Amino acid sequence: MQYTEKIIFLTIVGMMAVTYIPRLLPIALLSKKKFPEVVSSWLGFVPAAILSALLAPSLFIHDGNFSLSFDNKYLWSAIPVFIVAYWTRSFFGTIVTGMLVIAGWRYLLG
């Protein structure tokens, strides 16, 4: 293995380590620990909070500005998607609905 290939390989291994160690360490240390009910309940809201934080800018920011107008197709497309998610509780159904609604917007409005 040449010097350049060795550096690239070690860089990839290093990036893998700094990516997975922070994820695996808490799992390894806390997997057998029993948390109080309040903490467990609170942790149950973390995925929804993170998803909301990731999704909100895509829904409410249109052309660099906060937008609730009819031009913001992503915001209006989210309404039927949220309805399907609430009624069906199906991840797959929600994703398919979102794809179909956005495809419909693009087909109808270009």
Instruction: Give the model's pLDDT for residue 65.
Output: 87
Which stretches of the chain drop beneath a pLDDT of 50? Answer: none
Angle, helix 91-109 to helix 73-88, in steps of 10 degrees: 150
Instruction: Give dist(CA 108, CA 73) in Å, integer.
Output: 11
Instruction: Give the model's pLDDT for residue 93.
Output: 93
Report the predicted TM-score, pTM, of the whole model to 2 decimal places.
0.57
Instruction: Give the model's pLDDT for residue 84.
Output: 95
Instruction: Give the model's pLDDT for residue 27.
Output: 87
66: which strand partners? 61
Count, residues in the chain = 110
Instruction: Give dist(CA 57, CA 75) in Å, integer.
Output: 10
Instruction: Give dist(CA 2, CA 101) in Å, integer.
Output: 52
Instruction: Give the model's pLDDT for residue 33.
Output: 86
- Locate the domains of the chain by residue range: 34-109
Give the tokens for residue 62. Answer: 């249109």
